[in-house]
């Protein structure tokens, strides 16, 4: 084994040098004028701007902004990501919601259920759908509880543009990130999306037709499962080839 260490070390150094593919802020297709917007914990004051910053019926300081930043009621909550600076949200410059958006470029992803503060928590269903055909793929039933993990996978014949939905079994309503698909009469945007520079993002849902707009009823974190860049794969192949050649040469000596 000692004879192979120089080659193994070289392969490892190649991998560290090339590294995995770099992630970027998740790609969103939405309405003209909407974009990712920056904010700070000081913007969270229950005044309704941004649109997800409302007083929660669960407690004065319990909307999604407080949870993301670990402030208000979540100062001592170990499940809060305590993000500073917080991730940018998708919406308009005046803080209004984009009523129709979907993820326009993505890959297979790990989805973790991070938060549920809702009376319907045990029956709410959450998942994603393909924009091309509207077919839904359920990820969570709500009963799994926080910490549950599932995965977004793709059949490329369906296309890779996806939106998210929450099915409120108790009321019979289904809400989509494209609110034009909602089964209720309201066109309220029931989702807030927060994107991070490492490619991960949070999707936060409001489960009531005319709810308190606190977006803490069901929150998931989506983490793309990145693969090595083509250059990294090539370097690994070359390194392994060198290792095989080295072993053969030593046997011939």
pLDDT for 107: 77
**From 87-101, 200-214, 223-237, the region with the lowest mean pLDDT:** 223-237
**From 74-78, 197-201, 208-212, 227-231, the region with the lowest mean pLDDT:** 227-231
Cis peptide before 61 (omega within 30 of 0): no
- For residue range 105-141, list pLDDT tens digits in order: 667 899 999 999 988 899 999 999 999 889 999 999 9
pLDDT for 203: 98
pLDDT for 147: 94
Q: Look over the chain and give the mean of its residue pLDDT values, rounded to a whole number.
A: 83
d(CA 176, CA 187): 10
**From 43-57, 147-161, 188-202, the region with the lowest mean pLDDT:** 147-161
- Joined together, the tokens standing for residue 178 give 């494209």
Per-residue pLDDT band at 158 (split at 50, 70, 90): low
Is the sign of the CA dihedral 82, 85, 89, 91 positive or negative? positive
The pTM assigned to this predicted structure is 0.81
């Amino acid at each position: 084994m000692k004879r192979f260490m120089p080659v193994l070390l070289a392969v490892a150094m190649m991998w560290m040098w090339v590294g995995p593919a770099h992630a970027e802020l998740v790609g969103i297709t939405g309405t003209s004028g909407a974009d990712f917007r920056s904010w700070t914990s000081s913007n969270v004051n229950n005044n309704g701007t941004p649109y997800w910053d409302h007083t929660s019926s669960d407690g004065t300081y319990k909307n999604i902004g407080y949870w993301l930043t670990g402030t208000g009621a979540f100062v001592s909550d170990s499940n809060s990501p305590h993000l500073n600076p917080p991730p940018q949200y998708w919406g308009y410059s005046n803080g209004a919601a984009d009523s129709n958006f979907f993820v326009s470029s993505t890959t297979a992803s790990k989805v973790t259920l991070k938060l549920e503060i809702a009376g319907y928590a045990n029956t709410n269903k959450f998942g994603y759908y393909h924009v091309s055909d509207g077919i839904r793929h359920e990820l969570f039933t709500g009963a799994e509880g926080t910490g549950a993990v599932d995965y977004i996978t793709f059949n490329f014949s369906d296309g890779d543009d996806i939106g998210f939905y929450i099915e409120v079994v108790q009321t019979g309503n289904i809400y989509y990130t494209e609110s034009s698909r909602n089964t209720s009469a309201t066109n309220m945007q029931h989702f807030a999306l927060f994107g991070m520079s490492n490619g991960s993002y949070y999707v936060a849902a409001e489960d009531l037709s005319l709810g308190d707009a606190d977006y803490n009823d069901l929150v998931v974190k989506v983490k793309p499962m990145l693969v090595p860049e083509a250059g990294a794969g090539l370097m690994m192949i070359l390194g392994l080839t060198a290792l095989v050649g080295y072993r053969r040469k030593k046997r011939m000596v």
